[in-house]
């Protein structure tokens, strides 16, 4: 059986809970979908111009930023978006997917992350009013969204490990575009997005993959793997 290759875009650190969880989540999803999956870590500083990513059946931009190369992470996300490679982004992956979209689709060349560019004029990823480090919270999925279909329900509870989220200006700019908000919290703050017209481009601020360490198959990971299998 051909193993679907997933490029894990990030700087591997076994002390990061999500990094330990991701291979487990992919194994569980592969078994559920009846396929084989081979996760391959791709350090951000090795992404280069993205040409080396052509071999992958899917790309996952993983948590634990700042990355050693922000440009590498953004390049990988752009490759996935433009070449219709199935893509999943979680936590830092969500944040950088938003920066990539702001820069290369909205034309905001100066879009920055407040953590790495605290003096930047246009910060599209900003500190959360309430930190979500090791917090579990309710998430409301937009009915009919890809994420809601993956979970089979519109109300879920997921865990976080982050302190940064989407700026109000960027959320407003998303209103009429193909990158749609698909998940919010009780305060209506953005917790997930997905891209119309793409086989699978989903990014969440919450780290659903961590459920795999408690024996739970993360629905979004299963949907990601199933899309890779369907498009292979």
Could you read off the pLDDT of 22-65 as tens digits, one per residue? Answer: 999 999 999 999 999 999 999 999 999 999 999 999 999 999 99
What is the tens place of the pLDDT at every residue in 66-116? Answer: 999 999 999 999 999 999 999 999 999 999 999 999 999 999 999 999 999
pLDDT of residue 1: 64
Tens-digit pLDDT profile for residues 60-78: 999 999 999 999 999 999 9
Neighbours of 15 (CB within 10 A): 7
The 3-state secondary structure of 63-132, one letter per residue: CCCCCCCHHHHHHHHHHHHHCCCCEEEECHHHHHHHHHHHHHCCCCCCCEECCCCCCCCCEEEEEEEEEE
């Amino acid at each position: 059986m051909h193993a679907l290759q997933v490029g894990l875009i990030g700087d591997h650190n076994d002390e990061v809970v999500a990094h330990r969880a991701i291979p487990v989540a992919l194994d569980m999803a592969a078994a559920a979908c009846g396929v084989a999956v081979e996760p391959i870590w791709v350090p951000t500083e090795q992404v280069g111009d993205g040409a080396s990513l052509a071999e992958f059946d899917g790309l996952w931009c993983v948590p634990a930023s700042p990355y050693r190369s922000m440009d590498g992470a953004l390049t990988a996300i752009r490759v996935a978006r433009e070449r219709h490679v199935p893509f999943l982004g979680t936590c830092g992956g969500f944040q950088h997917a938003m920066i990539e979209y702001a820069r290369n689709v909205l034309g905001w060349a100066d879009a920055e992350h407040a953590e790495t560019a605290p003096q930047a004029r246009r910060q599209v990823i900003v500190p959360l009013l309430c930190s979500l480090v090791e917090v579990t919270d309710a998430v409301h999925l937009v009915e009919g969204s890809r994420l809601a279909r993956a979970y089979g329900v519109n109300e879920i509870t997921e865990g976080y490990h982050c302190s940064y989220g989407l700026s109000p200006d960027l959320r407003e700019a998303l209103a009429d575009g193909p990158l749609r908000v698909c998940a919010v919290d009780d305060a209506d703050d953005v917790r997930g997005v997905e891209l119309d017209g793409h086989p699978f481009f989903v990014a969440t601020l919450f780290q659903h993959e961590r459920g795999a360490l408690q024996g739970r198959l993360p629905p979004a990971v299963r949907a990601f793997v199933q899309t890779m299998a369907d498009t292979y």
